[in-house]
Amino acid sequence: MTETLFISDLHLDKDRPDIQALFHRFLEDRAAGADALYILGDLFEFWIGDDDPQQEHAATLNALKTLTEQGTPIYFLPGNRDFLVGPEFLERTGCRLLEDHQLIDLYGRPVLVMHGDTLCTDDVAYQELRQMMRNPQWQEQFLAQPYEARLQQVLSLRKQSTEAIAAKGEIITDVNQQTVRDVMTEYGVAELIHGHTHRPAVHHFELQGRQATRYVLGDWYEQGSLLSCTPQECQLTPLPVN
């Protein structure tokens, strides 16, 4: 079957082995026959450098490598949890790194893919934090610290983030529709695919006199979320754990 697959927000973690097992089955079965697989960020709950000793991720890296060696290209676009993936990760998996905003050719039509956090412009505090963490100087200083020191900082930030999201409400943490329109206009596309918000949906709207579509991938906390695109159509569907 001719199809290209898109996933995001798996948040793989040792405390959720069922989701890791679901992902591995997905790679072995559905993804093995695909034209390409796009992972649009937050594959891991956190990734704080390629020297990350989390042994539970070894099987996932090997599974990704197996798929790429079998001939299925995997494109990885970093999210807000795993933007520190580096050359060693790419070497171990065979994944190809994408830019934050990446224009792709999807069966002859231009489509914009991204993680989606840059669309949440109403969340000013988050955007300021993102800008700081994406600064090369900040990343160099952070990665120079011992792993344990980095881990403690990330766990503290994760706790603060959870509390902040609960306090902000859904409108602040969702995308800004004008930002969506602006970025799609900038890249000249009528289709956008992203994750991050954990609000799976297909949004249709008019953009500069033509029909536009925004596909939002879901998270993998309780089940999988998959966007499958063929030359004819794209379908957003869940992947049950069992």
Identify the structural domains of the chain with CATH numbers, from first to last. 4-239 (3.60.21.10)
- pLDDT for 170: 65
- Is 220 or 168 the better-scoring residue by pLDDT? 220
168 pLDDT band, cuts 50/70/90, is low
Mutual orientation of helices 147-168 and 136-143 as an angle, nearest 10°? 130
CB 110 within 8 Å of CB 103: yes
Give 67: exposed, middle or buried? Use CB within 10 Å, 0-12, 13-18, 19+: buried
Across the range 156-176, mean pLDDT stands at 73
- pLDDT for 88: 94
Q: At residue 202, does pLDDT exceed 90? A: yes
- pLDDT for 52: 76
Give the number of C-alpha atoms closer than 13 A to the C-alpha of residue 158, restricted to the C-beta side: 13
Q: Give dist(CA 103, CA 55) in Å, integer.
A: 34
Structure tokens at 86: 């580096």
- pLDDT for 110: 98
- pLDDT for 163: 67
- pLDDT for 160: 79
pLDDT digits (tens, 9 = 90+) for 14-35: 888 999 999 999 999 999 989 9
86 pLDDT band, cuts 50/70/90, is very high
% of the chain at pLDDT higher than 90: 83
Q: Give dist(CA 9, CA 199) in Å, integer.
A: 11
Contacts by 83-88, CB closer than 8 A, 24 or more apart? 83/41, 83/133, 83/134, 84/47, 84/48, 84/49, 84/50, 84/139, 84/142, 84/143, 85/47, 85/50, 86/49, 86/50, 87/50, 88/50, 88/51
Give the predicted TM-score (pTM) of the model.
0.94
